[in-house]
Amino acid sequence: MTFDDIIQFRRSNRKFYPDQPVPKEVLHKALRHASLAPNSSNMQLWEFHWVQDEEKKKKLVHACLNQSAARTAQELVVIVTRRDKWRQRIKWHKKLILKDAERIGRDAKSIKLRLIYYTKLMPFSYMNDGFGILGLYRRFLSFCIGLVRPIYRAEGHAQQRITVHKSAALAAENFMLSMASEEFHTCPMEGFDGVRVKRILGLPRRAEINMVIGCGKGQKEGFWGPRRRLPNEEVIKVH
Ligand SMILES: Cc1cc2nc3c(=O)[nH]c(=O)nc-3n(C[C@H](O)[C@H](O)[C@H](O)COP(=O)(O)O)c2cc1C
Residue type, 210: N
Residue 154, pLDDT above cutoff 90: no
Q: Whose CA is nearest to atom 1 of ligand 1?
A: 190
Domain count, the chain: 1
Q: Whose CA is nearest to atom 16 of ligand 1?
A: 12
Mean pLDDT along residues 147-155: 92
Mutating to test ligand 1, I would choose from 13, 187, 235 the residue with most ligand atoms within 8 A of its C-beta, which is: 187
Residue type, 27: L
Identify the residues whose C-beta falls under 6 Å from ligand 1. 11-12, 14, 67, 69, 187-191, 211, 227
Which residues form the domain of 110?
Answer: 1-239
Q: Tens digits of per-residue pLDDT, 97-128?
A: 999 999 999 899 999 999 999 999 999 999 99
CA distance 73 to 76: 7
The Å distance, Cα 215 to ligand 1 centre, comes to: 13
CA nearest neighbour of 133 among 148, 150, 149, 155: 155
- Per the CB < 8 A criterion, the answer to whether 87 and 81 are in contact is no
The Å distance, Cα 175 to ligand 1 centre, comes to: 15
Ligand 1 atom nearest 64 alpha carbon? 8
Residue 130, pLDDT above cutoff 90: no
CA distance 224 to 13: 8
Provide the CATH number for the domain around residue 148: 3.40.109.10
The whole-model pTM stands at: 0.96
Mean pLDDT along residues 34-51: 98
